[in-house]
Structure 1
Amino acid sequence: MSGNRTIAKNTIYLYCRMLLTMGIALYTSRAVLQTLGVRDFGVYNLVGGVVVLFSFLNNAMSSSTQRFLNIGIASKDSKRVGQIFSMSLNIHFLIAITILVLSEIVGLWLLNHQLNIPKERLLAANLVFQFSIATTFVGVLKVPYDAIILARERMSFYAVVGIIQAVARLAIVMSISMSITQDRLIVYAFLMMILDVFSSIAFFVYCKLNFGYQVHYRFEKSKELFRSLISFSSWSLLGQVSVVGSSQGMGMILNVFAGVVVNAALGIAGQVSGAVYNFISSAQMAFNPQIVQTYAENKHERHVKLVLQASRFSFFLFAILCIPVLLGTDYILTLWLGANYPQYSVGFTRLIILTSVLTSLAGPLWMSAYAVGNIKRYQFCVAAVNLAVLPIAYLVMLYKRDPFLVMGAKLLLDMLLLIFRVYYFKSRLLIKNSVLMLYVRRILPLFVMVFALAPLSEFISINGLGDLLIYSLCCEAVVCGYVFFWGLRRSEVANILTLVKSKIFGLT
């Protein structure tokens, strides 16, 4: 019971963070565009993207570090946790140096000789590039501190820092727009670097004050631990590369056959879907530490229950959040971007949201795979399915030239990937068919309903906010009723009602 309450409390913290930061971020993105202008805004994103190209290994190491720290915490061995932390800090320092060298050699060559940047903005672009490198260097070193905060389930601090960062970003943009008349791009990039450095310092200080010995750096020489971290991360890296390669490669193929309008539509669809999915990732973040720790403690029944519960909860929340977007995609995009948004945006947004529905179900399953370890076969299969979209996209565009068919193929591949993840989860943990079938029965009707809503929304006319509210409320009532009376267990409903009474009405 205490574990469920911890998860619920952490979910509340993370949702509060997401609600505030998403609202601020949506307004900030418009303000940045207006302050910098289209050209400088493009330069800022392009230059930052060059540094991101060299960050694959860091992304893989981040999930690996948190996994090993969770296992160390589950063993209740503070010395072991300290060893894992120190070794991960050693590895992240090497990663930071590697990114620095690659950025200063390959990155500068790309920036000055390959990318299409106006000559009069080349000096500003180089300064922004250096600020981005510094930000990335500090961010890589912050990963082990970030990981131990999440592993220790200190979500309140994580949420507070995120909100402060969002408010500070907005303050920076507003102050530049009102007072700076010189090169706003350079000033903006410099102040954003300073903000990220100070937020990283806050993480360092918090960990020192709260975790003491466990984050006290010692030069760790264990070859066995080093090999374990690197081996696990190398297979995580394969998964990271396949995800990025499939999305970026698909975008390039669509660009070759259909032009930049398709890429603009993909970008808009990704922002809308990402804004909704961030709520779900927050819920899963609250579950993840206990998913890993219960497996490490050999509490397999509790582990299976947590994974399936997190998957169901994530899917139910996403279904509730995405229904207004699926119904009123055209109206929402017009309200946000104006009437002249790129072609394909509405269809792409709906298809990417359906893809995110599958991701909401799959997230806890791949976290379980990470907890179990020995992910070689798992990551190989995931990478193969992810990268299969590239030849399919090429053939579809070559013979049909229909971008929607490509996105539909991507959706089918993600559905295949979800089926594989369920099978892998069942086979590795020897789950009974009855347990799995109960999970499927609780989600399947709503799953079909959400997928049917996307084509049906083409026949629904949304002419204003009133129409959107009426249609959304009707659908939400059906969905919430389904979740309450069928999707959730009676014990889960009781726990939720108790939590609402205690947190909102002050009742025990």
Structure 2
Amino acid sequence: MTNQVNKNFVSNIINLLVGVFVGLFYTPYLIRCLGVAAYGVVPLAFIVNQYISVVTTSLTGSLTRFYSVSLQQGKYKEASRYLSSSFLIITLIGCCLLPFFIWFVSNLDRVFNIPANLLSSAKWLFSFTLISFLMSLYSSLLNITLYALNRIDLMNVVKILRSALKVVFTICFFLFFSKDVGFIGFVLFLTEFIILCFSYVVYRRTVNNKIEISAGHLNKKALLAVLSMTVFVIIQQVGDTGLYRIDNFIVNKYWSVRESGILGAVSDFGNYIMTSIGVISSLFGPLILIAYSKEEHDKVKSLAVENSLYVGLMAALLAGVIIGFCKPIITLWIGPNYTSYFPWMILKLYVIPFYAAAGVFAFVYRAWNYLKVPALWTVIIGAINLLVSILLCEFSGGDETYIFYMLVISSIFVILQSYILCSYCFSRLYNFSEKRALFINFLKILFVLLLSALLAYVYGLFISVGQLFQLCIAIIVVGCVALILSFMLVLRKEQKQRLLSYLKSFI
């Protein structure tokens, strides 16, 4: 590994530790302060951002591809045109979304099932959250330069600052003012304003005046190039959203904020696993894009196939251990009244390893700007999932068992859309003849997931994990055993040697 990759890895570890601490503390803190019903409004606000980000983050994703290739090839004027044109697009999108924001917040009680006593606070929460989201897009555009230069370490500084400020400001407002849902939105607004200022300072110091953002760099060709790719990224994001986050909306609509709050809380562990896996997987995105820019396609292919396996195995190990200990985790984290919802947690977690592994293949076909096929199929799969979920809920009669059925079906569609579809697109793009290897990798990931879950479950049968300290020890012990067994049983000899050489580079 290069020195910069080492720096990125270390900063990822630090960001992970901060993220895990914030995640384990922040959600139960909000539930204790607000109650599960009031907290149920918070995931809804965050999910709305994800739906709007279908348009805006699709733009930043498209820009990353064009901007990074130009920057790596030393075409600074071209890179300036892409960045300046994207700032114009983001501004226009914000202006177009403003009337929708006003209508949406004004009619919030018609869109969601929110109790009357929480409606006023919920409107403040959604208002500030939507404004914060638009501010974060400008920060993301500025930070694309860091991604293109493989400065993941500096990007992690931004992420750590965002996480820390969110927690500190929330505690301060709850202590000195009141424990109100509306303050969470204002905290996000204040945090994103500081992040935007910080990102601009980092951007100016990084580009050394080589890249400029100005009206003089606006360019029709650059604008159309970014927009043409953005269209298909948007289509794919629509399908993704329909698969991964639509369940919370549906549960809120057919049940209440209580059920959507519980589902949002147990779903958070999937986000924590993805954050943990990001320690490794985020290293490969810039490397794949740089290799593609230099037309080193054999390197791109080897990076994708092997590292997809590593990422999937790591996610399987983490998800499996948490699945095996899901009952005590829910009991200690949220409360014993919610332990019976552990099947929801299992269904939200077991798809994570396949989704994480597929993300590495997504780096490749986005570098190639090959998005039409995955985008269209993602929308089709997402639409089918949405239709089936709604039909189930229509016949539920308020029975929570149907939420379980909905999550089972959604998890099947998620695996189909993530690992299977991405593997197909990758193999088609490179005319990859060893499709059997991709299927074997799928089975290896599944094996590690089941092995880790089984080890955790058996451990819990013989040793008590009723207290937080006991649970931490159990996770460490089972995780280490599962890691050793996975290393010995799953990896080939040359893969073991490569992993060991990676580890030696840090010593």
Partner of 1:135: 132
Listed one character per residue, the Cα deviations across residues 97-141 of structure 1 (whole Å, up to 9, x for unaligned) are: 22323212x223323766566667665555545433432332222
- 1:173 to 1:470, Cα distance in 2 relative to 1, 3 A: closer
Determine if the alignment matches structure 1 residue 175 to structure 2 residue 167: no
Q: 1:243-290, CA deviations, whole angstroms, 9 ceiling, x for partnerless residues? A: 222345444555677776653443233112211121113422221012
SS of residue paired to 2:351: helix
CA distance in 1, matches of 2:429, 2:277: 25
- With over 3 angstroms needed to count, the CA separation of the structure-2 counterparts of 1:477 and 1:139, relative to structure 1, is same
Per the TM alignment, residue 145 of structure 1 is displaced from its structure 2 partner at its CA by: 0.7
**Which residue of 1 is the match for residue 364 of structure 2?**
368
Query: Counterparts of 2:52 and 2:414 in 1: how far apart (Å)?
Result: 26
The residue aligned with 2:505 is 499
Indicate if the aligned counterparts of 1:96 and 1:140 stay in contact, CA closer than 8 A.
Answer: no
Deviations 1:309-363 (Å, cap 9, x if unpaired)? 32122112212322321211101110111210164x2112112211111101100
SS at match of 1:279: helix
Partner of 2:11: 13
Alignment match, 1:450: 449
Residue 428 of structure 1 corresponds to which residue in structure 2? 429
| Structure 2 counterparts to residues 398-413 of structure 1, below 5 A | 402-413=402-413
Cross-structure match for 1:145: 142
| Contact 2:274-2:315 at 8 Å conserved across structures | yes
Q: How many pairs does the alignment contain?
A: 494
Q: CA deviation at 1:387?
A: 2.5
Q: Does 1:263 align with 2:260?
A: yes
Q: Structure 1: how far apart are the matches of 2:318 and 2:476?
A: 10
Distance change (3 Å), C-alpha of 1:377 and 1:388 = same
Structure 2 match to 1:473: 477
- Inter-partner Cα distance in structure 2 for 1:475 and 1:29: 24
Q: Is the partner of 2:214 in helix, strand or coil?
A: coil
Map of 2:465 onto structure 1: 464
Look up the equivalent residue of 1:450 and give its one-letter code. Answer: L
Task: Report the counterpart of residue 160 of structure 1 in structure 2.
Answer: 157
What RMSD, in angstroms, separates the aligned Cα atoms of the two structures?
A: 3.3
Given that residues 311 and 365 in structure 1 are in contact (C-alpha distance below 8 angstroms), is that contact kept between their aligned partners in structure 2?
A: yes
Read off the aligned partner of 2:449 and give its amino acid letter.
V
Task: Select between 29-38 and 419-428 the one with higher mean Cα deviation.
Answer: 29-38
Cα 1:360–1:261 shift into 2, 3 Å: same
Deviations 1:120-165 (A, max 9, x none): 7665555545433432332222221122222222122222232233
Which secondary structure state, in structure 1, belongs to the residue aligned with residue 350 of structure 2? helix
> Which letter does structure 1 place at the counterpart of 2:499?
V
Does the CA-based 8 Å contact 2:353-2:445 persist in structure 1? no
Corresponding residue to 2:224 among 220, 223, 227? 227
Amino acid at match of 2:420: I
Question: By how many angstroms is 1:476 displaced?
Answer: 3.8
Q: Aligned to 1:464, what secondary structure does the other structure show?
A: coil
Task: State the SS of the aligned residue for 2:336.
Answer: coil
Q: Which residue of 2 aligns with 1:330?
A: 327
How far apart are the structure 2 equivalents of 1:420 and 1:44? Answer: 32
Q: Which stretch shifts more, 474-483 or 23-32?
A: 474-483
2:316 touches 2:448 (CA, 8 Å); kept in 1?
A: no
**Segment drifting more, 489-498 vs 297-306:** 489-498
Residue 234 of structure 1: how far off its partner (Å): 1.0
Give the direction of change, closer, same or farther, for the CA distance of 1:254–1:188 in structure 2 (3 Å limit). Answer: closer
How far apart are residue 187 of structure 1 and its match? 5.3
Residue 132 of structure 1 aligns with an amino acid whose one-letter code is: T
Please give the per-residue CA displacement for 1:376-414, whole angstroms capped at 9, x wherever unaligned: 122111221232223333555677964434333333323
8 Å CA contact retained: 1:86, 1:215: no
Whether the 8 Å contact between 2:285 and 2:363 is mirrored in structure 1 is yes
Counterpart for residue 387 of structure 2: 391
Contact residue 320 and residue 480 of structure 1 kept, 8 A: no
Runs of 5+ consecutive residues of structure 2 not aligned to the other structure: none
- What is the SS of the residue equivalent to 2:505? helix
In structure 2, the CA distance between the partners of 1:427 and 1:480, relative to structure 1 (3 Å rule), is same
Cα distance between partner residues in 2 of 1:456 and 1:130: 46
Question: What code does the residue aligned with 2:5 have?
Answer: I
Partner residue, 1:96: 94
- 8 Å CA contact 1:95–1:140 kept in 2: the answer is no
Displacement of 1:82 after TM fit? 1.4
CA distance, structure 2, for counterparts of residue 135 and residue 342 of structure 1: 34
C-alpha distance in 2 between matches for 1:109 and 1:71: 43
In structure 2, the CA distance between the partners of 1:363 and 1:80, relative to structure 1 (3 Å rule), is same
What amino acid does structure 2 have at the position aligned with 1:431?
Answer: F
Q: Does residue 87 of structure 2 align to residue 81 of structure 1?
A: no
| Alpha-carbon spacing, 1:404–1:46, altered in 2? closer, same or farther (3 Å) | closer
The worse-fitting range, judged by mean Cα deviation, of 370-379 and 93-102 is 93-102
Question: Does structure 1 retain, via aligned residues, the 8 Å contact 2:85–2:222?
Answer: yes
Deviations 1:1-28 (A, max 9, x none): 54xx543431321121021122023213
Contact 1:365 1:422 in 2 (8 A): yes
Per-residue CA deviation, residues 154-191 of structure 1 (Å, 9 max, x unaligned), is: 122222232233232332233334433x6855555434
Name which of structure 1's ranges 214-223 and 39-48 shifts more when overlaid on structure 2. 39-48
Give the Cα separation in 1 of the matches to 2:45 and 2:390.
Answer: 28
> Paired residue for 1:348?
344
For residues 213-239 of structure 1, give each alpha carbon's deviation from its aligned partner in whole angstroms, at most 9, with x where no partner exists.
344212234222211211111111111
Question: Which range moved further: 59-68 or 232-241?
Answer: 59-68
How far apart in 2 are the matches of 1:342 and 1:467? 15
Aligned match of 2:313: 316
Alpha-carbon distance change, 397 to 131 in structure 1, aligned in 2, over 3 angstroms = closer
User: d(CA) in 2 for partners of 1:391 and 1:275?
Assistant: 29
Q: Is the 8 A contact 1:65 1:229 kept in 2?
A: yes
Structure 1: which 5+ residue stretches go unaligned? 502-508
